[in-house]
Amino acid sequence: MASEVLSILTADGRVSPSAVPDLDDGRLREMYRLMVLTRAFDDRGMNLQRQGRIGFYVPSRGEEGLQIGCAFALGKDDWIFPSYRIPGLAIARGASLETMLHQVYGTGRDACSGRQMPCHYSLRPQNFVSISSPIGTRIPQAVGAALAMRYRGERSIAIAFFGDGGTSSDGFHLGLNFGAVYDAPVVFFCQNNQWAISVPIEKQTRSETIAIKATAYGIPGVRVDGNDVLAVYAATKAAADRAREGLGPTLIEALTFRMGPHSSSDDPTRYRPKEKVAEWEKDDPLRRFQVFLARRKLWDEEFEKTCVEEAKEAISAAVTAVEKAPPPAPETMFEGVFETPPAELALQRDALIRLSASGQLTGRDDGYFPL
């Protein structure tokens, strides 16, 4: 399995009935609706940044299938150690659009009080651990959390997400080795979207595949078509069930493509061939799943219109509400670090509060963002 690619959906929507996962029609349609919502959320995020209304955004266009496939394969009590390119997974697990946009805007209602990078969500109700910009850091964290859950007698598992570039980090090798040795109930999920910012996969590793790296650690390595939402669901469900039964970790390599820039600060036309983008556009995960649903009489133009319009309305309503929220109060910079602030910090906090109340505290209002 470390070299073969698990795929269920063909480009024309055909599939062997025996290969279709046990998902009823309602769940299949919900998968599609969430994929549409995820893409609409990303498109609006990039538009907001270009309009100067937010400072930074990380899109995931082209990777909706792997996000929603994973979401449906996991249990509600499982823990997510995410990359910064899986907003759809958070949405599918019940995170509200408003909550996520408060984080992107860095408002006073942001759970992180505006101190975390935009698109680096921290969602405790969804067991969605705070995203971290440094690559690979969440892999050993997921292993530790998974072992803690096992020691506590829980049936939950952890899943760590990372890009192909993350496989070059020390956290990747440390996490896989430690997780394998101790049979941690964890899934390692690599979003191989072919580029680590501007570094192509062929310059990232000499291995035949990323999945084959699992062999060195004595765990299964699986390659899956990341643009096939049903194949991702099947592969993730199998790996999660295996971990839950005490059989240890699995490394999944999902083959997909980052259709947009690495972030709103990136220009992929400077390093990525147009021909490569055009080639992958033909394998759009939404279109592919749409064709499958249409063949099963689960998709038509009316359903598409409903999905698109509802997504746009929900996002617009969330943006309107979030843009009315005030920024974080200045004194929040002193919160959440010390249970009892040291005396010198308390004095600085009190001085800041007085300065703010006097109207003498000013800040930039030109939309500047340091990236």
The catalytically annotated residue of 44, 93, 120, 258 is: 258
Place of tokens 């939309």: 367
The catalytically annotated residue of 271, 295, 296, 354 is: 271
Question: What confidence score (pLDDT) does residue 163 get?
Answer: 96
Active site residue 258: yes
Which two three-digit tokens encode residue 172? 């990747």
Architecture of the domain delimited by 5-322 = 3-Layer(aba) Sandwich (3.40)
Question: What confidence score (pLDDT) does residue 371 get?
Answer: 62
Question: What confidence score (pLDDT) does residue 366 get?
Answer: 59
Question: What confidence score (pLDDT) does residue 331 get?
Answer: 87
Q: Strand pairing of 195-196 and 79-81? A: unpaired
Task: Classify 330 as helix, strand or coil.
Answer: helix
pLDDT in tens, the chain (371 residues): 567 999 999 988 889 878 889 999 999 999 999 999 999 999 999 999 999 999 999 999 999 999 999 999 999 999 999 999 999 999 999 999 999 999 999 999 999 999 999 999 999 999 999 999 999 999 999 999 999 999 999 999 999 999 999 999 999 999 999 999 999 999 999 999 999 999 999 999 999 999 999 999 999 999 999 999 999 999 999 999 999 999 999 999 999 999 999 999 999 999 999 999 999 999 999 999 999 999 999 999 999 999 999 999 999 999 999 999 999 988 898 888 888 989 999 999 999 999 888 887 766 655 556 66
pTM: 0.94
Question: What confidence score (pLDDT) does residue 368 get?
Answer: 59
Give the residue from 331, 337, 335, 362 showing the smallest Cα distance to 349: 331
Active site residue 271: yes
Whether 188 contacts 176, CB under 8 Å: yes
The residue ranges of every structural domain in the chain are 5-322, 329-371
Q: Strand pairing of 199-200 and 195-196? A: antiparallel
